Each structure stands twice: as C-alpha cells, then as structure tokens.
Amino acid sequence: MPDATERTILITGATDGLGRALALELASAGHELILHGRSPDKGAALLAEIRQRTGNERIGYELADFSSLKDIGSLADRVLARHDRLHVLVNNAGIGAQPERQVSQDGHELTFQVNYLATYVLSCRLAPLLVASAPARIVNVSSAGQAPVDFDDVMLERDWSGVQAYCQSKLAQISLTVDLAEHLAGTGVTVNALHPATYMPTKMVTVHPQSTVEEGVRNTARLVTGRDGAETTGRYFERGRPARAGLQSYDPEARARLRALSRTLTGVPFPATPGHG
C-alpha cells in the first residue's frame, strides 16, 4: 500500500462516534479522507474540527442519506467521478436496534437497508476503483451481535424484533465480507469485518458502556492501515483477534441467496473485476 500521505480512505458514518474518532486518527496520520454523513451542519463542523486539530486539508465531505438507495448510488457516483484512486473503504455507518419497525424511502426495513444494503451497494460499485488502486482494502464495521437472515421474512413484516433486525443486518455484512473476499481474491483487495469493541459510549449504545471509543478506533485502524488488513482477507475479527462469525456467513448457499436478494433489492450486481464476471 502507498505511504500514509498517499492513501485515500472513504469512511461512512463519519460525523459521530467511532467514525468521527477514526477520521481524526487517520487525518492526523496524513491520509486523504472522504468522509460521509447525512447532516450538512455536522459535516461542516467535522471538517473544521479536523482541519484545526490536525492541519490536514486533504479532507472532503459527502452527503448521503442511507435510507435512500438513490442517495447511496449518488454517493458512489460522486466518489467515482471525483477520485482516480481509493485505497480503503470503511463501511461504518449504521443504526442500532430500533424500538419499532421503520421502512426506508425504498420500502425496505430500515435497519437492513442502512446497515447492510448500503454496504453492499458501495462495496460493489467501488470495487473496480479499489482494484485499480490496489493494494486496497474494504473494512466492514460489524458486531458480535449476529443472527441468521430469515429469507422467508427478511424485512420482518410478520415477526418484528429490533434486535433481530440489527443482528441479521450485521451477519449479512459478514456474509458479504466472505463473499467479496472470495470474489476479489488475486486482485490485491482484501475484505474483512470486525466487532471493534463492546458497548462503546456512542449515540447508538443505550446501555452502560463497557469499552472506550479509543479501543474501537485502535482495533478498526489495525484493519484499515495495519498488517492484519494487508495480509488477511475474508475474516471476522472480534476486537483485535480473528474469530468465528455466525455459521450462516460461511454457508455458500445462504451467501448466494443473499447475493441474489441484494441485487434484486438494489439493482446493483456483484462487481465485475479482472478475471471475474
């Protein structure tokens, strides 16, 4: 991978919590950052703070609401149009377990769209640019909270549970991680997922914190810029160590079903890369 000052890194969900702290850490190291959020005011404040604290001017902000597939696609369009290289995609944006069922602007269960479908669209759309910029990485910020996707009721219309919605979206992210790692093997792009820390004090967490944001940043940065993320692919990490994820994420048939469903819901196919269809 290029020297630190030459890396271009996209972080989704960068205006709060782990994403914000990670952006400050990486900006301090001199990386070029593309930061995503859904609030213009928060974005402006974030850019001002990072520039003031780090002196790094190589930072941009992209606006997108992940409850809209059109917005997610437009974000990918802008990144592809404005940047001729991308070394790391950090899929960090997400929402926690919701108290009641909500739907996205596209009619999908909101947690599944924000946490998983956005990860799918951006990873697939930006994969060719990552391959062209290789060595490169995709890092999916997942969770130890995982549950199999119920393919008979993916949108949980019959049996709503905020915990199930969250946990199945996170296992879907890991399934995609394994799938993309296999698909991108030999291209110079690694794909990994992690549970960065347990109950960090962020706005997503409603229970007493058990970890610090700093711990989460340290573990995430290890995959973004460290040796683990360069030499390992298709793995799930709990904090700083490789771990075993939910069984469904290793099931080729289940992953194929999820891949087909994702294409149907988003209209985005798996990425075409050299040597792959």
Residue 235 main-chain phi, psi, to 5 deg: -115, 155
**Pairing mode, if any, of strands 235-238 and 241-243?**
antiparallel
250, with CB counted inside 10 A (0-12, 13-18, 19+), is middle
Place of tokens 């969250």: 166
Residue 197 main-chain phi, psi, to 5 deg: -175, 165
Place of tokens 């058990």: 210
Residue 90 Cα distances to 75, 190, 213, 252, angstroms: 14, 12, 16, 24
Hey, how many other C-beta atoms are within 10 angstroms of the C-beta on 29?
Answer: 15
Map residue 182 onto helix, strand or coil. Answer: helix
Containing 32, the helix (H) or strand (E) segment is strand 32-37
Please identify every residue annotated as catalytic.
Answer: 166
Both structure tokens of 271: 């990425």
Amino acid at 67: S
**Sheet bearing 189-195, strands edge to edge:** 59-63, 32-37, 8-11, 88-91, 136-141, 189-195, 235-238, 241-243
Q: What is the 8-class DSSP label of residue 4? A: G
